[in-house]
């Protein structure tokens, strides 16, 4: 009977060790998940995204072409070549280089903002 109890206790002990080991790893990963989640929730929430319309993009492409920053047609699509041209324009004008047709770039190009775009803070 004594050997049976020792064997049973050894088995239970070994089983408890294998049960604890995966939980330790799970806690590690879940704690890093918690840190990631905490970091994500503490970051500042972004406001609405500023978007240029097709006509504004066409106007910008025309200006970029005149200045020699863009060689394509005024398609009204913000494609890779247009973004490259915008980066060159923004660098030449000394404004933040983003490769996007944001509010500051439109204003620098003297392209009129829509009423909706004017309502949003810069």
Residues 110 and 66 in one domain: yes
The residues, ordered by sequence, that sit 6+ positions from 39 with a Cβ below 8 Å of its Cβ are: none
The residues, ordered by sequence, that sit 6+ positions from 57 with a Cβ below 8 Å of its Cβ are: 75, 76, 77, 78, 82, 101
pLDDT at position 34 over 70: no
User: 0.75 exceeded by the pTM?
Assistant: no
Residue with tokens 């990631």: 36
Domain count, the chain: 2
Residues 36 and 69 in one domain: no
Residue 24 domain boundaries: 1-45
Residues 66 and 84 in one domain: yes
Query: Distance from first CA to last CA of the chain, Å, rounded?
Result: 82
Average per-residue pLDDT in the chain?
A: 82
Contact 71, 81 (CB under 8 A): yes
Q: What is the pLDDT of residues 49-78, one digit of tens each?
A: 789 999 999 999 999 999 999 999 999 999
Residues 60 and 87 in one domain: yes
Residues 58 and 2 in one domain: no
């Amino acid at each position: 009977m004594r050997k049976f109890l020792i064997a049973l206790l050894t088995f239970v002990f070994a089983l408890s060790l294998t049960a604890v080991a995966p939980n330790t790893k799970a806690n590690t990963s879940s704690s890093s998940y918690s840190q990631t989640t905490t970091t994500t929730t503490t970051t500042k929430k972004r406001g609405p995204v500023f978007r240029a319309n097709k006509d504004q993009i066409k106007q910008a492409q025309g200006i970029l072409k005149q200045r020699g920053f863009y060689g394509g047609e005024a398609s009204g699509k913000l494609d890779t070549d247009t973004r490259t041209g915008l980066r060159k324009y923004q660098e030449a004008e000394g404004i933040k280089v983003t490769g996007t047709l944001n509010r500051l770039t439109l204003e620098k190009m003297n392209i009129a903002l829509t009423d909706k775009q004017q309502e949003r803070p810069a």
